[in-house]
Amino acid sequence: MLKVKNLTFGYTEKPVLKNLNFSIQKGENVSIIGASGCGKSTLLQAIYGLHHVEGKIFWQDSQLLGPNFNIVPGEDSMKYLTQNFDLIPPLTAAENVGKFLSNMYPRKKKQRVNQLLDLVEMRELANIKAQHLSGGQQQRIALARSLAKPPEILLLDEPFSHVDHFRKNNLRRNLFSHLKQEGITVLVATHDSTDALSFADKTLVMRNGRIISSGKPEELFQDPKNGYVASLFGEVNELPARLFLADQPARKKVVLYPHEILLAKESDWKAVVKNSFFKGNHFLIQVEFQGKDILFESQNKLEKGSIVQLKIPEEILQKRLR
> In the predicted model, is pLDDT for residue 71 greater than 80?
no
H helices of the chain, in order, are 40-48, 93-97, 106-119, 135-146, 165-182, 193-198, 217-222, 227-231, 314-319
Quote the pLDDT of residue 192: 85
> In the predicted model, is pLDDT for residue 191 greater than 90?
no
Average pLDDT over residues 208-234: 94
Share the mean pLDDT of the chain: 94
Cβ contacts of 146 within 8 Å, gap of 6 or more: 79, 81, 154
**Calpha distance 284→277 (Å, rounded):** 5
Average pLDDT over residues 112-137: 96
Quote the pLDDT of residue 74: 84
Task: Residues 2-227: name the CATH superfamily.
Answer: P-loop containing nucleotide triphosphate hydrolases (3.40.50.300)
What DSSP assignment string belongs to 175-211?
Answer: HHHHHHHHT-EEEEEES-HHHHHHS-SEEEEEETTEE
Query: How is the chain split into domains, by residue range?
Result: 2-227, 235-319
- CATH classification of 235-319 is 1.10.10.10, yes or no? no
Average pLDDT over residues 52-73: 88
Quote the pLDDT of residue 287: 98
Side chain identity at 202, as an amino acid letter? K
Average pLDDT over residues 205-234: 94
Average pLDDT over residues 57-73: 86
Average pLDDT over residues 173-192: 94
Q: What is the pLDDT of residues 267-305, one digit of tens each?
A: 999 999 999 999 999 999 999 999 999 999 999 999 999
| 235-319 and 2-227 share a CATH fold | no
Quote the pLDDT of residue 201: 96
**Calpha distance 250→308 (Å, rounded):** 26
